[in-house]
Amino acid sequence: MEEWNAVLSINERGLKEAYAKLGRFGLLKKTGFFNVLLLKADDLPALLETLWGWLQEDPAALAFLSRLIPVTQTFTFQSAGEFEERARETVLPWAPRLAGKGFYVRMRRRGFKGKLSSLEEERFLDTFLLEQLEKAGIPGHINFTDPDAVLAVETVGGWAGLSLWDRAELQRYPFIRFD
């Protein structure tokens, strides 16, 4: 798949329902990873609002879905070094939104086993953003318990997708989960 803007983790035996319910929002494609789909939604905000509406009507409406992570920026990479370079370029414009706030980076890696460490890349991006905020004189801090924002990093093979979510968005959309 050339472009995508959401990664879906599907619960056991939920694949058929995922295609039936989410296929109308755009192109859904299987990956080489168990119960992981990529979605190229035609209108991502409309998708999020529709899913939220379904949950209001029926709390079990998304039982097939383990998690959905929308992404706003994607890029390809061939190595850990290239990933880090492109990830820095991607997150740098988001630094002002983290000024004076508590945040953390959460990475879900699929592929590149032994070549890319989720924990190391989370720390790398945390440190990079903290340094940028400190240089700008508007420091932020890492906060895992009650963050103001979470920066999501999803990789599927040599593709990465990133997005930044604030507390209000995460409270509104409970299907966007990082743990």
Q: Are residues 82 and 168 in the same domain?
A: yes
Q: Is 23 part of a structural domain of the chain?
A: yes
Mean pLDDT of the chain: 94
What band does 179 get if pLDDT is binned at 50, 70 and 90?
confident
Q: Are residues 86 and 55 in the same domain?
A: no
Q: ∠ CA 78-80-83 to the nearest 5 degrees?
A: 70
CATH code at 164? 3.30.2130.30
Q: Are residues 59 and 105 in the same domain?
A: no
Q: Are residues 167 and 101 in the same domain?
A: yes
What pTM did the predictor assign? 0.91
Q: What is the pLDDT of residues 72-108, one digit of tens each?
A: 999 999 999 999 999 999 999 999 999 999 999 999 9
Q: How many domains does the chain have?
A: 2
3-class SS at 49?
helix
Range of the domain at 87: 73-172
Mean pLDDT in residue range 151-164: 96
Mean pLDDT in residue range 20-33: 94
CA distance 11 to 13: 6
